[in-house]
C-alpha cells in the first residue's frame, strides 16, 4: 500500500511528539522530514528517531511531502500556507488563529485540489458545535483559565502592561469577540479560533480569558445555545513542557492522523 509522506514544520512540544508518533508508525503515513528555526537542535532531535528523517528547507519539504503539518507559529504559517496550498499539498494547521479571514487560502486550496485540516487540539466537542450549526445557534462563549506564565509574552499582556507576577487571585485579563482575542493572544487561543471556525464565526463567538495564580492546568469552558438546546463542555488540560500548550493538543493531532487511514471513523 502506498503511504502518504508527511512533513513537520516546527519542532516544539507538539512537533516533536508528532515526529515520534510517525516514526513509531501510523498506518498509511510516513515521516518525510522536518523543519525548525534552530537547525542544530532540530538535526540533533531527528537523529534520535529510528527513521533518521532529514532536516529540509521549506521548499524541499513541500516538494517531498503529500501533507504538511504546521506546528510552528501564525507568522510562519503566512509563508507556509500559500506555498504548500499552491503546490496542491494538504496542510494540517495548528496555529489556526491565522486562518481567520483567509478566504484567499481557501480559494487557493480549492483551485489546486488541496485541503486544509484543523484538528480539535486542546478542546473537545467540535463535532457537537458543527452539528448545532446546521440549525440556528444563538451564542457560543468560551472561558479560558491559564496559569499566568501561560499568558506571558502575549501582545495583549504587553500592550496593557499587565504584571502577571503581581497577580494574587483569578483575574479577567481579556473579554471580547474571538476575532480580537486571536490577535491579542496568538499563541494561546488557537482553540478559540477552531471553535469559531467550527461554529458561528469569530465575530459572533465571544471569550473571556483569565489568569489564575496557582492553577496547574489549562481550563476551557465552552457553552453553545441554539435550536438544538444547550451544550456545555469543560476541559482541563495538563500542560506539556511548553506551558502554553496542553498535551491534548498533540494527542488530538495524532488521533487525527490515525483516522486518516482508518476504515471505521467515529464522530462528525
Measured distance CA(178)–CA(239) in Å, rounded: 22
- The residues that bridge with 91 in the sheet, in sequence order, are 68, 116
- Contacts for 107 with CB less than 8 Å, ≥ 6 apart: none
* Element containing residue 191 per DSSP (H, E): helix 190-198
220 an active-site residue? yes
* Residue 238: other Cβ atoms inside 10 A: 10
- Other C-beta atoms closer than 10 Å to the C-beta of 233 total 17
Report the distance separating Cα 128 and Cα 93, nearest Å: 21
Exactly one of 30, 76, 117, 220 is catalytic; which is it? 220
Nine-digit cell string for 67: 501533507
Contacts of 134 by beta carbon, 8 Å cutoff, 6+ apart: none
For the annotated catalytic residues, the residue numbers are: 220
Amino acid at each position: 500500500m502506498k503511504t502518504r509522506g508527511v512533513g513537520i514544520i516546527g519542532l516544539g512540544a507538539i512537533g516533536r511528539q508528532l515526529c515520534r508518533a510517525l516514526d513509531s508508525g501510523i498506518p498509511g503515513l510516513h515521516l518525510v522530514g522536518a523543519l525548525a528555526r534552530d537547525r542544530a537542535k532540530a538535526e540533533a532531535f531527528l537523529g534520535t528517531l529510528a527513521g533518521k528523517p532529514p532536516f529540509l528547507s521549506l521548499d524541499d519539504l513541500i516538494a517531498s511531502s503529500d501533507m504538511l503539518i504546521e506546528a510552528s507559529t501564525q507568522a510562519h504559517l503566512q509563508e507556509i500556507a500559500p506555498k504548500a496550498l499552491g503546490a496542491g499539498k494538504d496542510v494540517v494547521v495548528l496555529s489556526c488563529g491565522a486562518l481567520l479571514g483567509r478566504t484567499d487560502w481557501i480559494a487557493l486550496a480549492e483551485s489546486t485540489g488541496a485541503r486544509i485540516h484543523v484538528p480539535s487540539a486542546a478542546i473537545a466537542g467540535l463535532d457537537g458545535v458543527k452539528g448545532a450549526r446546521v440549525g440556528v445557534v444563538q451564542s457560543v462563549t468560551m472561558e479560558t483559565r491559564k496559569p499566568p506564565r501561560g499568558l506571558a509574552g502575549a501582545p495583549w499582556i504587553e500592550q496593557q502592561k499587565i504584571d502577571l507576577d503581581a497577580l494574587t487571585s483569578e483575574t479577567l485579563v481579556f473579554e471580547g469577540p474571538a476575532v480580537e482575542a486571536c490577535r491579542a493572544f496568538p499563541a494561546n487561543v488557537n482553540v478559540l479560533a477552531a471553535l469559531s471556525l467550527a461554529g458561528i464565526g469569530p465575530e459572533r463567538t465571544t471569550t473571556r480569558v483569565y489568569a489564575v495564580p496557582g492553577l496547574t492546568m489549562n481550563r476551557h469552558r465552552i457553552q453553545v445555545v441554539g435550536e438544538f438546546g444547550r451544550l456545555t463542555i469543560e476541559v482541563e488540560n495538563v500542560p506539556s513542557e511548553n506551558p502554553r500548550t496542553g498535551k491534548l493538543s498533540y494527542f488530538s493531532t495524532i488521533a487525527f492522523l490515525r483516522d486518516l487511514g482508518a476504515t471505521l471513523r467515529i464522530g462528525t
